[in-house]
Amino acid sequence: MKLAENLTRLGTESAFEVLARAAALEAQGKPIINLGIGQPDFKTPDHIVEAAIKALHDGHHGYTPANGILPLREAVAADFHRRHGAEVNPECVVVQPGGKPTMFFCILMFGEPGAEILYPDPGFPIYRSVIEYSGARPIPIVLREENEFAFSAEEVLGQINNKTRLIILNSPANPCGGAVPKQEFEKLIDGLANWPNVAILSDEIYSQMLYEGREHVTLLNYPEIRDRLIVLDGWSKTYAMTGWRLGCAVWPKELAPLATRLAINCHSCVNAPTQFAGIAALQGPQDAVIDMVTAFDERRKVIVKELNQIEGFRCVDPGGAFYTFPNIEGTGLNAQALQNKLLEEASVATVAGTAFGDNGEGYIRFSYANSKEKIVEAMSRIRDCITTI
């Protein structure tokens, strides 16, 4: 067999590998505490599940339009307006099976040999993987601990040149939990006026998970970039629906048909009952979202305090999402070695910072999508484990 050369450049998401290893250890009877995988430990709220069941009973078993059923796209547009006052045309909304397909399609639209794409590092690993796969050159936007893992607009602007096609931004962020301040976004948007051909993919999938009074900055509210802006959002995190596979994006009017064409070539459409569940999520009570974010905030405070008490660890306060990204240089181990040690010896699953890019060395990611009790127990095991280094 002779496989396509670009496959050699395709990366992966190590969190799934850690999940598999943790499951294997658990099957051997190890008392694993999983702080590795990035998914809420809550169940999808009942009224959302019921809406999907009803859709099945009502006979919604067939294909739907590739960009999503109109009532769902209208509900998405109304939701952006409710949450952010942003005007969104349902024709610009393309529903996808999760947040990832938007990322994949968007990067494939702009990436090719000779092109450059900027992406956050440490950042969600799929950005770099797909940029490389497309043949474009990945240019890291370095996120620094001393900057609370927010990008520097000045630095980003300094990295743009005539080859730059796309800039990927993610706030609140995976894996660092950084939330970029509004003034930094505005500095970047001002500077982008000099680069009218550069598109922006703003991954806002954690937009509802912000702490200590921070407010989400959606780039949809900047009309000067709307004709080259793609905003990725979805249900996976906000409504604890990771396994349903439902996401969406707002595209510029000329790109929405292309995103839809890619969907037709790839998966045809999202399964019908899930789309009805998506409508129920957006139009129904939001209490479950508020309760979940309140729980995450409590756990966030606990884990940050505990991590800062572990020898060799130093942890900044994450402003959003459900991750912390402590500096672990003081342990004397590199990120991968510490990830392995914690899993094998303390039965605590985490993900090495290097899974999120070269600039993740010296850090490991904890997802605090687990109960307070489990988090405290994990921290106590890590303290004991670290003293044996």
In the bound complex, what is the minimum distance in angstroms from residue 323's beta carbon to ligand PLP?
9
Among 41, 203, 233, 306, the residue binding ligand PLP under the rule CB under 6 A is: 203
Q: Prior bond to 140 cis, omega within 30?
A: no
Residue among 99 and 362 whose Cβ is closer to ligand PLP: 99
Stretch of 96-104, 222-230, 250-258, 333-341 contacting ligand PLP, by CB under 6 A: 96-104
Could you tell me if 360 and 354 are in contact, meaning their C-beta atoms sit under 8 angstroms apart?
A: yes
Could you tell me if 165 and 116 are in contact, meaning their C-beta atoms sit under 8 angstroms apart?
A: yes
Tell me the number of residues near ligand PLP by CB under 6 A.
Answer: 13
Residue 99 in the binding site for ligand PLP (CB under 6 A): yes
Residue 354 in the binding site for ligand PLP (CB under 6 A): no
Residue 205 in the binding site for ligand PLP (CB under 6 A): yes
Stretch of 178-186, 234-242, 324-332, 338-346 contacting ligand PLP, by CB under 6 A: 234-242
Residue 98 in the binding site for ligand PLP (CB under 6 A): yes
* Alpha-carbon span 350 to 352, nearest angstrom: 7
Residue 353 in the binding site for ligand PLP (CB under 6 A): no
In the bound complex, what is the minimum distance in angstroms from residue 236's beta carbon to ligand PLP?
3
Burial 281-296 (b: 16+ CB within 10 A, else e): bbebebebbeebbebb
Burial 314-325 (b: 16+ CB within 10 A, else e): ebbebbbbbbbb
Residue 134 in the binding site for ligand PLP (CB under 6 A): no
Among 129, 171, 236, 350, the residue binding ligand PLP under the rule CB under 6 A is: 236
Per-residue mark of binding to ligand PLP, 241-260 (x: CB under 6 A): -x----x-------------
* Alpha-carbon span 200 to 118, nearest angstrom: 9
Residue partners of 377: CB distance under 8 A and separation at least 6: 33
Residue 121, H or E segment: strand 116-121
Residue 318 in the binding site for ligand PLP (CB under 6 A): no
Residue partners of 137: CB distance under 8 A and separation at least 6: 115, 116, 117, 131, 163
In the bound complex, what is the minimum distance in angstroms from residue 106's beta carbon to ligand PLP?
12
Question: 34-73: which residues touch ligand PLP (CB under 6 A)?
Answer: 38
For residue 238, give the 3-state DSSP assignment.
coil
Per-residue mark of binding to ligand PLP, 174-193 (x: CB under 6 A): x-------------------
Residue type, 318: P
Instruction: Give me the residues that bind ligand PLP (CB under 6 A), please.
Output: 38, 98-100, 124, 170, 174, 203, 205, 234, 236, 242, 247
